[in-house]
Amino acid sequence: MYVQDNATARQLLRSFMQFDRAEWHKRSIEGCKPSEIKVLLCIKRNVAPPTQEMKVSEISRLLHVTSPMVTQLLKRLEADGLVERHSDPSDRRTVGIKLTEKGDLIATKAAEAFFASLHGLIEYLGEEQSQQLAELLISVSTYFNGKEAALQHTYWSGSEEA
């Protein structure tokens, strides 16, 4: 059984392993660790216009990490002067989180670096193949993580959660 497919399965597995080791998001930028950069970008891309602030729970949901993890990351970012926390007067359990000027600058630089790298990739693969790749990877995520996962948005998606 599966004799014919074995070659494809092995190729796939090998390609997954290699992609896993690929350094597309493992670099520190301006002294920020990858996980910290993700938080900065998440805030930059998802703040609501009136206050320009986000809640811990929103970041947690968008990045798919627990709120204790978000708290820890924010603690470091605050110590580095990249975000500010203000206790929300309308619900004092929550905290409004906002990028500082410095934090915004680093987020911008990080986004530029990410997109420059991606544009290089798109040039390398070609527009059409790049789009196909994105579609295929979403299908793979759907297959492995169940349908919900593929519908969830990450921090760089401009659109809102369903």
Partner DNA sequence: ATAATTAATTTGGTAACCTAATTATATCTA
Partner DNA sequence: TAGATATAATTAGGTTACCAAATTAATTAT
- Cα–Cα distance measured from residue 104 to residue 82, given in angstroms and rounded to the nearest whole number: 7
How far apart are CB 39 and DNA at their closest, in Å? 9
Q: Which residues bind a second copy (CB under 8 A)?
A: 2, 5-6, 8-25, 64, 114-115, 117-122, 124-125, 127, 129-141, 143-145, 149-150, 152-154, 156-158
Residue 125 vs residues 97, 118, 128, 129, 133: alpha-carbon distances, Å: 38, 10, 8, 6, 9
The one of DNA, a second copy, none whose footprint includes residue 51, by CB under 5 to 8 A per kind, is none
Q: Which residues bind DNA (CB under 7 A)?
A: 33-36, 38, 55-57, 60, 64-72, 74-75, 85, 90-95
Nearer to a second copy, 43 or 95 (CB): 43
DSSP structure class, residue 29: B
The one of a second copy, DNA, none whose footprint includes residue 33, by CB under 5 to 8 A per kind, is DNA
Do residues 41 and 155 lie in contact, with contact meaning Cβ atoms separated by under 8 Å? yes
Nearer to DNA, 74 or 99 (CB): 74
Alpha helix segments (H runs only) across the chain: 6-21, 34-46, 56-63, 67-79, 101-125, 127-145, 147-151
How far apart are CB 162 and DNA at their closest, in Å? 18
How far apart are CB 85 and a second copy at their closest, in Å? 26
How far apart are CB 138 and DNA at their closest, in Å? 19
Count CB-CB contacts under 10 A for residue 42. Answer: 23
